[in-house]
Amino acid sequence: MAYTIEDLKNKILEMYPEVKAQGFNVNIYYNEEKQSYIIRFQRGTSELITHLDKNDADDCMNNIKCVYLGVQIGQFIKNFTERERFEREKPEEVSEYKAVEKTVLFDDEGYLKNINDWNEKVAQAIALREGLGILTKDQLEIVKFINEYYKKYNYFPILNAVCKNVHQPKECIAEKLIDPLVAWKIAGLPKPDDTLINIVKYGVTPT
């Protein structure tokens, strides 16, 4: 089935009008190695990078909605709108959070200043600020493993290894937290530099 990337983009916008309604930019490119389309939704600092394999893309062009893509888009928009609401309603001073009878400090971008201050209550506070709401048991298991792994190896673990070690499906981070960088922040890890941000987005452990 012959179609261009622009055709696919227009079809996605047609089938998921909420993307355009929310003002998200959409960029698509084809990854030959993975034999799939990489789709990037972005508005401001909010970003979702996901993939659509060739068969799903063909179905999309034939007006068959892709369930996985729809779920991803729906959760991403929900997270975005909840984060916007939190930003409107949050107190003026949110750089500190009282947990376990001590003050926990964050930088101006919401990253924990001292990883040793991290605990589940702190994780919940960060998740609320990031628009995820209350973390589930599965989400807590993910960020707890990331926190412990980083403390031990000073690295962010390979994404599939996270899911395997917490006995969850291999796409658990994408399905439950959307963006690996959100998982990074909720896990209490220090602010990554630009190079590390790119590495984490694509799930490769830094060396």
The domain limits of the chain are 5-88, 92-201
Q: At 103, phi and psi to the nearest 5?
A: -90, 130
Q: Select 5-88's CATH number: 3.10.50, 1.10.10, 3.30.160, 2.30.30.
A: 3.30.160
Q: State residue 94's pLDDT score.
A: 44
Query: For the residues 90-118, what does the mean pLDDT come to?
Result: 67
pTM for the full model?
0.49
Q: State residue 207's pLDDT score.
A: 43
129-187 pLDDT, tens digit per residue, is 777 778 888 888 888 988 998 888 887 777 667 778 887 877 676 666 667 778 888 99
As given in the structure block, the two tokens for residue 90 are 């949050």
Residues 6+ apart with CB under 8 A from 182: 130, 132
As a whole-number percent, the residues of the chain with pLDDT over 90 amount to: 4
126 touches 154 (CB < 8 A): no
